[in-house]
Amino acid sequence: MDSRVTPLTDESYWTTLWDGQQHKVRHLRWAYVANRQLAKLFHLALAGFKEPTLIELGCADSLWLPYLARNYESDCYGVDFSELGCQLAERNLALAGTKGTIICEDLFDFAKAQHAVFDFVYSMGLIEHFSTPQVILEEMYSLLKPGGTMLTITPNLRGMYTPIARVASPKLLATHKVIPPVGLAAALRDAGFHVTEYGYTGGALKLSVVDYSPWRAVIGRWGHEVLCKCVNLTDIVIGNLLAAVCVPNQQLTSPYVYALCKKPS
């Protein structure tokens, strides 16, 4: 671990989280507006690459690695320090009938041995779990080839999601550093990237961006299952309704912050 940065979580935090997922088989569901918008960002990021070499940083239980391996004929890698999370990522690749390499290692140790080897680097909820996200972005920069592309996505824990998180999962806010789009873009430029676009994404609603697992101890397993199904149904029905009337991505209700950037050639 780099001495300039302090993690806001530890391996036990993630093991507890992924333990609740290991008996569930998840799939990318295109009924969610968020997934459709994220797929467009991936398409934009990978435009111009033929059989790209790519890596997901913080890949535990990744559903996007199988998608990218299947749709972009890519040489896929994933790295994560959670052993259970890596097992779930490998399971997802196998279930999708795709190939990829999952590496169970600390990101900083991994980055020391890998320099300018990837065409595309992405993370979906990583940098906000560290006290100094800038340091993580510098590691991402070193992993990219000159001319390579990076996509960074973090949860938007501002707007209406802040009070929801305070009730549903107080620890969620304690383990996340809130990064607005302008701040993310500035940090990327400071790390040496050329930022091509940034903002909010994921549609006008995604209540499931908040973790509701702490409520399992309050309302029981079945009560928690019902709660999650209601949240997911709301995301699909209301999310698609808002998309149909062209409600834009914005700070108040959009679930994610993103930035797309390049490493100068």
Using pLDDT thresholds of 50, 70 and 90, give the confidence band for residue 115: confident
Q: Is the pLDDT of residue 17 over 70?
A: no
Give the pLDDT confidence score for residue 145 in this predicted structure.
96
Please state, in angstroms and rounded to a whole number, the distance separating the CA atoms of residues 1 and 164.
32
pLDDT, tens digit (0-9, with 9 covering 90-100), for 125-153:
898 888 888 888 999 999 999 999 999 99
pLDDT, tens digit (0-9, with 9 covering 90-100), for 236-255:
999 999 999 999 999 999 99
Q: What is the mean pLDDT of residues 39-53?
A: 94
For 191, how many CA atoms within 13 A lie in the half-sphere containing its CB?
A: 25
Using pLDDT thresholds of 50, 70 and 90, give the confidence band for residue 116: confident
Looking at every residue in the chain, the average pLDDT score rounds to 90
Query: For 6, phi and psi rounded to 5 degrees?
Result: -120, 125
Residues in the chain: 265
Give the pLDDT confidence score for residue 154 in this predicted structure.
94
Q: 11-262 architecture in CATH?
A: 3-Layer(aba) Sandwich (3.40)
Using pLDDT thresholds of 50, 70 and 90, give the confidence band for residue 1: low
pLDDT, tens digit (0-9, with 9 covering 90-100), for 96-105:
999 999 999 9
Query: For 176, phi and psi rounded to 5 degrees?
Result: -125, 135
14 or 76, which is more confident: 76
Judge residue 211's burial from the number of C-beta atoms within 10 Å of its C-beta, 0-12 exposed, 13-18 middle, 19 or more buried.
middle
Cβ(57)–Cβ(118) below 8 Å: no
Q: Tokens at residue 231, please?
A: 């949240």
Q: Tokens at residue 60, please?
A: 């535990």
Q: Tokens at residue 215, please?
A: 């409520």
Give the pLDDT confidence score for residue 224 in this predicted structure.
84
Cβ(42)–Cβ(20) below 8 Å: no
